């Protein structure tokens, strides 16, 4: 189970459930459909992060992460940014919630870059391995992140165009 470079496609949803494989960009006439899909998903939850769907995608691509990962972490940690310390932009439970970012853009950049450098590059290449470092001693964090990743996938592309 590993994060794979951009361009790798997992055709089997059971495999995608257990691994955090990057899905290939789906580009249509209106641009990268992942942005529309993630935005629609976040809007479904009335998330203040919905306008930043493109930033999640750009930072995931830049850092070689699954495009659904960081947004899914916000679902577990803060109900997609709705339950955070005032003006902290900390939807990730970063530093146990005792950290403030200057903006949503900065928070997405820092979290994505740190996941790459301090997790994946140091051998935590599956969601279960990331969970051991990101959210100890939780036994449910990884499952919840995977759950939201599957929920993002469950939106039909036709719905997001």
Write out 89-125 in H/E/C secondary structure: CCCCCHHHHCCCCCCHHHHHHHHHHHHHHHHHHHCCC
23 belongs to a structural domain: yes
> How many domains would you assign to the chain?
1
This prediction has a pTM of 0.80
Asked if the model's pLDDT at residue 12 lies above 60, the reply is no
Query: 31: pLDDT confidence band, cut at 50, 70 and 90?
Result: low
In a domain, 2, yes or no: no
Q: Is residue 4 in a domain?
A: no
Stretch 66-79: mean pLDDT, rounded?
A: 98
In a domain, 48, yes or no: yes
Q: Residue 152 domain-assigned?
A: yes
Question: Residue 125's domain is classified under what CATH number?
Answer: 1.10.530.10
Helix (H) or strand (E) holding 16: helix 13-18
Q: Which domain holds residue 23?
A: 13-160
Contacts of 114 (CB under 8 A, 6+ apart): none
Q: Is residue 86 part of a domain?
A: yes
Flag whether 1 is in a domain. no
CA 111, CA 10: separation in Å to the nearest integer?
A: 25
Q: What pLDDT, on the 0 to 100 scale, is given for residue 14?
A: 38
Pick from 30-39, 77-86, 89-98, 146-155: least confident: 30-39
- Residue 155 — very low, low, confident or very high, per pLDDT cuts 50/70/90? confident
């Amino acid at each position: 189970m590993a994060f794979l470079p951009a361009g790798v496609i997992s055709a089997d949803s059971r495999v995608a459930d257990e691994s955090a494989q990057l899905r290939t960009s789906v580009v249509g006439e209106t641009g990268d459909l992942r942005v529309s899909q993630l935005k629609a998903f976040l809007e479904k939850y009335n998330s203040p992060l919905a306008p930043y769907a493109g930033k999640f995608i750009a930072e995931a691509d830049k850092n070689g992460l699954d495009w659904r990962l960081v947004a899914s972490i916000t679902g577990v940690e803060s109900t997609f940014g709705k339950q955070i310390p005032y003006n902290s932009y900390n939807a990730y439970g970063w530093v146990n919630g005792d950290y403030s970012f200057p903006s949503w853009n900065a928070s997405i950049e820092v979290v994505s870059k740190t996941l790459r450098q301090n997790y994946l590059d140091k051998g935590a290449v599956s969601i279960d391995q990331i969970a051991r470092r990101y959210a100890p001693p939780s036994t449910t964090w990884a499952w919840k992140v995977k759950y939201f990743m599957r929920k993002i996938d469950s939106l039909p592309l036709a719905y997001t165009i």
